[in-house]
């Protein structure tokens, strides 16, 4: 099969040369492979390798910095010439924004600020934008400029330039801004998300992206646009259909601690959110969760008891997805705390649970826009 694939690729390359379309142009190669039914096979046989990129335009990875297992961020460029910013790649929101020279908030004073006057490709608007997160908020204006993410150049990308960043959350954040990867339906001010423009302009090989988050402060985290790194899926992929095209929202069947059900008895809604550090539960359930683990009302538990704690199990799409105590217990300075927080995120289907980084670190996670589904592959 590999020989047949190689011959097919050679034939395609010859075809490209005859038509004077450069072989390295990702759009043409992607279309040719897809038309011949070879794209999926090629990507499986050539998983992403950071040291060797056969066709970089087919697979583009953004390396993420792991900040104390609490936040994961990478570097993007905006404008011409490019101005660099560190951003959270957030599947729980849809807007791109960065601090700007218009911002006088304390949070902007110690971060990079975009200067539209220094970019020859910037186009301003009179439109405003306002976003409130679970922690932190921003207001600002919208503009258009060239954005480069993982060597992918997106022209005329709409983004927010902050004018205010109230409070101190963003002041203490190690990143500058946020790049939302959720659906357009929840984008503030109707802004088109970056990944939607990547898809519309055929800048990615497949209409999906995948995420690996490292543990224990280790390096190696990434978000991979347009491809699946199959070296991370040796334990198979479980595909879960989305229940709404807003956040990356799915239906859970139940939540268990060991063999005991503790919540979500009749089913509930959850989102897979790279921008949330912990495991978020509805506020009225948090006390039950803590008590079930034997923790106090603040979630603190004896470190000596951690080794005997059961797995936390989310039942999703008739499958069990386990989170071990080594993942959901945070040890700091001899104190152990459960990695849960209570927050109410109301939707038409009820309060949302949030499967944040504590969960995602256990699974190579695929966000598939082409099929409106999430793929989870257990990591070793």
Taking the C-alpha atoms of residue 42 and residue 33, their distance in angstroms, rounded to an integer, is 8
Active site residue 151: no
Taking the C-alpha atoms of residue 341 and residue 330, their distance in angstroms, rounded to an integer, is 13
> Hey, how many other C-beta atoms are within 10 angstroms of the C-beta on 203?
21
Q: Quick one: which of 91, 49, 75, 64 has its CA closest to 368?
A: 91
Q: Quote the pTM value.
A: 0.85
What are the residues whose beta carbons fall under 8 Å from the beta carbon of 153, sequence distance 6 or more? 146, 147, 203
Provide the pLDDT for residue 55: 37
**Residue 175, Ramachandran bin (φ over 0: left; ψ between -120 and 50: alpha; else beta):** beta
Provide the pLDDT for residue 350: 82
Provide the pLDDT for residue 150: 95
On the question of a common fold for 61-225 and 233-378, the answer reads: yes
Taking the C-alpha atoms of residue 126 and residue 170, their distance in angstroms, rounded to an integer, is 25
Provide the pLDDT for residue 9: 34
Residues of the chain with pLDDT under 50: 1-34, 46, 48-58
Provide the pLDDT for residue 59: 55
Instruction: From the candidates 69, 196, 229, 273, give the one annotated as an active-site residue.
Output: 273
Provide the pLDDT for residue 135: 86
Provide the pLDDT for residue 45: 52
| Superfamily in which the 233-378 domain is placed by CATH | Acid Proteases (2.40.70.10)
CATH numeric code, 61-225: 2.40.70.10
6-29 burial string, b = 16+ CB within 10 Å, else e?
eebbeebeeebeeeeeeeeebebb
Taking the C-alpha atoms of residue 71 and residue 73, their distance in angstroms, rounded to an integer, is 7
- Which helix (H) or strand (E) element contains residue 354? strand 350-355
DSSP letter at 251 equals E
Pairing of strands 279-281, 268-272: unpaired
Q: Quick one: which of 176, 185, 99, 101 has its CA closest to 139?
A: 99
Taking the C-alpha atoms of residue 211 and residue 269, their distance in angstroms, rounded to an integer, is 21
Q: Quick one: which of 282, 332, 277, 324 has its CA closest to 135?
A: 277
Residue ranges per structural domain of the chain? 2-45, 61-225, 233-378
Provide the pLDDT for residue 349: 77
Could you give the C-alpha distances from 248 to 63, 236, 295, 356, 368, in angstroms and in order?
Answer: 22, 20, 30, 12, 10
Reading the block at residue 191, the tokens are 């802004």
Active site residue 273: yes
Alpha-carbon dihedral angle through residues 280, 281, 287, 292, given to the nearest 10 degrees: -90
Reading the block at residue 50, the tokens are 């950071």
Provide the pLDDT for residue 345: 87
């Amino acid at each position: 099969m590999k020989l047949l694939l190689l011959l097919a690729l050679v034939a395609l390359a010859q075809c490209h040369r005859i038509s004077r379309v450069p072989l390295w142009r990702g759009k043409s190669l992607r279309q040719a492979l897809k038309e011949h039914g070879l794209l999926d096979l090629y990507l499986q046989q050539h998983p992403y390798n950071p040291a060797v990129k056969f066709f970089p335009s087919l697979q583009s990875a953004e390396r993420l910095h792991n900040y104390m297992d609490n936040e994961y961020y990478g570097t993007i460029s905006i404008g011409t010439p490019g101005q660099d910013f560190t951003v959270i790649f957030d599947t729980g929101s849809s807007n791109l924004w960065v601090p700007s020279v218009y911002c006088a908030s304390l949070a902007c004073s110690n971060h990079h600020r975009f200067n539209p006057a220094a970019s020859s490709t910037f186009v301003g608007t009179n439109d405003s934008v306002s976003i409130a997160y679970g922690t932190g908020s921003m207001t600002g204006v919208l503009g258009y400029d060239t954005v480069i993410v993982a060597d992918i150049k997106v022209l005329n990308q709409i983004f927010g330039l902050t004018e205010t960043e109230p409070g101190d959350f963003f002041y203490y954040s190690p990143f500058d801004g946020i790049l939302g990867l959720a659906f357009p339906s929840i984008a503030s001010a109707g802004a088109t998300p970056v990944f939607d423009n990547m898809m519309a302009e055929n800048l990615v090989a497949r209409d999906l992206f995948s995420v690996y988050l490292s543990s224990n402060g280790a390096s190696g985290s990434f978000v991979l646009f347009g491809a699946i790194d199959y070296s991370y899926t040796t334990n198979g992929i479980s595909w879960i259909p989305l229940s709404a095209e807003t956040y990356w929202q799915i239906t859970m069947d139940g939540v268990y601690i060991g063999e005991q059900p503790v919540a979500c008895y009749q089913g509930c809604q959850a989102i897979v959110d790279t921008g949330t550090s912990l495991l978020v539960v509805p506020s009225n359930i948090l006390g039950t969760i803590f008590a079930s683990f034997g923790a106090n009302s603040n979630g603190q538990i004896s470190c000596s008891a951690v080794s005997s704690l059961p797995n936390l199990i989310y039942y999703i799409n008739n499958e069990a997805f386990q989170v071990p105590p080594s993942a959901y217990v945070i040890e700091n300075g001899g104190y152990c705390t459960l990695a849960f927080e209570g927050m109410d995120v109301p939707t038409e289907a009820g309060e949302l649970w949030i499967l944040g980084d504590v969960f995602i670190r256990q699974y190579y996670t695929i966000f598939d826009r082409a099929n409106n589904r999430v793929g989870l592959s257990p990591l070793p």
